[in-house]
Amino acid sequence: MFRVKICGIRLKSDVDAVAAAGGDAVGLNFFRPSVRFVDPQSESTRLLSEAAAAAKLLRVGVFVNETADQIHQIVDQVGLDAVQLHGDETLSAAGTVRGPRLRAIKLPVGPVSVDLIESAARPWIDAGFHVLFDADAGAAHGGSGKYLDWKSVADWNDQHGQSGWTLAGGLNPQNVAEAIRTSGTASVDTASGVESPKGVKSAALIQQFLQQASG
């Protein structure tokens, strides 16, 4: 779906930084409590999305526990290419959301079994979702900077990862190359790892992240 997604962009300068660094996707966050929230009703959000489209970046809307109708309304209003469900949505409720669709599979930090990962991910993969593995952030749902045990994810990938998936959770310019090597992923996502201070994207960190992710 994408190679590198920079999630939680808020400004046109963020779009410019991602495009200049060679990223291929951005996330627009519609979870109101997040420091990365952008208002779907605001003209500036529509313009941000338009700028991302002009830069040929895939625009992924990040949603937490919204109804399919609310999501579709925001997709049409803002202009989005894909929807990322990052809350506690059930598969039956999420099934009515129009695609392309990603599902965040939130895993505990530390070693986890292949069976645990497979039982969390498989129903969503079989329903046509692209899965994005993230560290469980509790009530914050995402963007926590916590990272997964990449070896556990690699073990799952060896047995079950054929359909493509994304690694997220605590990735930054210092660890992304090792995370890719260890986990075997072809697709990464970051939010807090390219910010300074929290909630404010840094063009320099985005550039370093892309450089490290590209080997």
What are the residues binding ligand LARABZUK (CB under 6 A)? 7-8, 27, 29, 31, 34, 36, 62, 64, 86, 134, 140-145, 168-171, 189-193
Residue (36 or 130) nearer to ligand LARABZUK, CB: 36
Nearest approach in angstroms of CB 199 to ligand LARABZUK is 8
Nearest approach in angstroms of CB 19 to ligand LARABZUK is 18
Residue (72 or 146) nearer to ligand LARABZUK, CB: 146
Nearest to 176 by CA among 201, 147, 134, 153: 147
Nearest approach in angstroms of CB 106 to ligand LARABZUK is 9
Nearest approach in angstroms of CB 146 to ligand LARABZUK is 6
Query: What is the per-residue burial (b if ≥16 Cβ within 10 Å, else e) of 97-114?
Result: beeebbbbbbbeeeebeb
Reported in sequence order, the residue ranges of 58-97 that DSSP labels E, i.e. its strands, are: 58-63, 82-85
Tell me which residue has tokens 């599979």.
105
Cα–Cα–Cα angle for 97, 99, 104, rounded to 5 degrees: 75
Q: Which residues contact 35 (CB under 8 A, 6 or more apart)?
A: 8, 143, 198, 199
Residue (38 or 125) nearer to ligand LARABZUK, CB: 38
- Residues 164 and 187: their CA atoms lie apart, in Å, by 8
Residue (152 or 159) nearer to ligand LARABZUK, CB: 152
Nearest approach in angstroms of CB 152 to ligand LARABZUK is 17
